[in-house]
Structure 1
Amino acid sequence: QAPINKFIAGQFTKLSYIKKNKKRIQRAYSFVNSPNSKNLEFYILLIKNGLLTPKLYDIKNNKIFISKNSFGFFTISELPKKENLWMIATGTAIGPYCSILKYENILKKFKKIILIHAVKYSIDLNYLNLFKKIKKKYKKNIKIKIILSQEKRKDYLFGRIPNLIASGELEKSVKEPLNSKNSHVMLCGNPNMIKDTQKILLQYKKMKKHFRKNPGHITRENYW
């Protein structure tokens, strides 16, 4: 808990730690919690030799600072109205989607949501219980698909997001079309995934990056 200003689901804030030499180590993290929750939640992967995450994992013994302000435009209000919203994430970048799906009434702007979460191994799936709650909330208006890149398991897709889009396997698995006419795509996570997926979407689907003054089909947020 912390006294912060109101944020919009999908935004991020900055967590920091001040070293003994008074140098500030600061990183951006997306909110996982809903804007109306008193408890702040962040999905953070421990990097053993990292400058900040070991301090965050030992928060009882370290003084962590949080910015009162929130940042970013990875929000539903920034998206054009379409039939299908594809929310695609790798690893911890599922965080902002969790916040959005908990709080926003997405169905005012989109008829159907396709949530795609890609990780290396099934052990990396930490929000399956939340996915069940989200499925219960949106019912037939949402489809959730898990992708594993280093492990084969029944009911999960295997491979990389760009390849699964190029082959048509991703669309086939969720039984929903991905095209420039009726779809908007949100990409969040590994910069390489985002770069490669954008290329595939342009090449195979004629989809381009979305801007306020130049509407497109792809909204992206790199996670480092």
Structure 2
Amino acid sequence: MATWIDGKVVDNIHWHENLFSLKVEAEIEPFTAGQFTSLALEINNEQVARPYSFLSSPGQQPLEFFFYVATDGALSNALVKLNVGDKVMLKHKANGFFTLDEVPASRDLWMIGTGTGIAPYFSILGSKEVWQRYDNIVLVEGVRSSRDLPYQNLIEKFSQEHPDKFTFQAFVSREDFPNAIKSRIPVSLGDGSLEEKVGLKLSPADSQVMLCGNPDMVKSSVELLKGRGFIKNLRRKPGQITTENYW
């Protein structure tokens, strides 16, 4: 049976009315970068819980989580209203297999996500292992609007620390934004414009691809990559595509 513990909110960052981050102090068991835990609140005398990936890296305090306020999401609509000092429940033990332990070695690692599905990548990029295992790391983030692109300071930090290894590419589908591709990720995977912009070829021989976020994006991207010779990565049969849907 899952063990729940109390965490304390130490910051609630409102990027805009529908996008926010929580920083929480809590003594949880050690986790692996890319994993998730569950957060919960009492709402109308009922415990409401949902899984959320860590954005913070293992060993960091406070823990950090990244949220989109869903129109019909009782928990996200309550979490966004939390103040510093408020309590939130967390599962003591993390779960999930969207980690580097499950991704085979290769020359290049492509980390492709939409919206808050970018969170586990920040957790992984904040650890040492990923920089030791791959020669080239491409972080791809797809959003509707440029205001959905927080954490640019963190991206700049990775760029400065690893200028020869790290590339960031944004997709902004509903507006023009400097250096961003105005399209959707699956379209750009299909027509080659992502690779052209980044200056790196996607190939089964040299690339591992992680996909996280909108299930439609994940599904479409997987099908396009399969058409180019990539296969899903399974423990019993290693491949080049590792996925995690966000709802």
Which TM-score applies when normalising by structure 2?
Answer: 0.86
Distance 2:44 2:182 in 1: 46
How much does 1:48 deviate?
4.5
| Pairs within 5 Å for 1:194-209 | 194-203=218-227, 205-209=228-232
1:42 to 60, 65, 69: 65
Structure 1, unpaired ranges of 5+: none
Distance 1:130 1:190 in 2: 22
How much does 1:63 deviate?
4.5
Q: Check if 1:25 corresponds to 2:48.
A: yes
Which amino acid in 1 is paired with 2:185? Answer: I
Query: CA contact under 8 A between 1:121 and 1:149: conserved in structure 2?
Result: yes
Aligned partner of 1:69 in structure 2 is 93
Identity over aligned pairs, percent: 37
How much does 1:59 deviate?
2.1
Q: Check if 1:220 corresponds to 2:240.
A: no
1:54 to 77, 97, 107: 77
Q: Which protein is richer in strand relative to its size? A: 2
Distance 2:93 2:140 in 1: 29
Query: CA contact under 8 A between 1:88 and 1:185: conserved in structure 2?
Result: yes
Residue deviations 1:150-185 (CA, integer Å, cap 9, x gap): 112231111111110110100000000101110000
Q: Check if 1:88 corresponds to 2:112.
A: yes
After superposition, the CA RMSD in angstroms is: 1.4
Which amino acid in 1 is paired with 2:49? Answer: Q
Q: Which protein is richer in helix relative to its size? A: 1
2:169 to 145, 153, 156: 145
Query: CA contact under 8 A between 1:148 and 1:156: conserved in structure 2?
Result: yes
1:174 to 187, 198, 201: 198
How much does 1:208 deviate?
1.2
Q: Check if 1:99 corresponds to 2:123.
A: yes
1:134 to 158, 163, 175: 158
Residue deviations 1:91-131 (CA, integer Å, cap 9, x gap): 01110001110113313221110110110010111111110
Structure 2, unpaired ranges of 5+: 1-24
- Equivalent pairs counted in the alignment come to 222
1:14 to 23, 32, 38: 38
Using the TM superposition, name which of 46-55 and 130-139 deviates more.
46-55
Q: Check if 1:5 corresponds to 2:29.
A: yes
How much does 1:18 deviate?
2.4
Aligned partner of 2:16 in structure 1 is none
Distance 1:162 1:126 in 2: 22
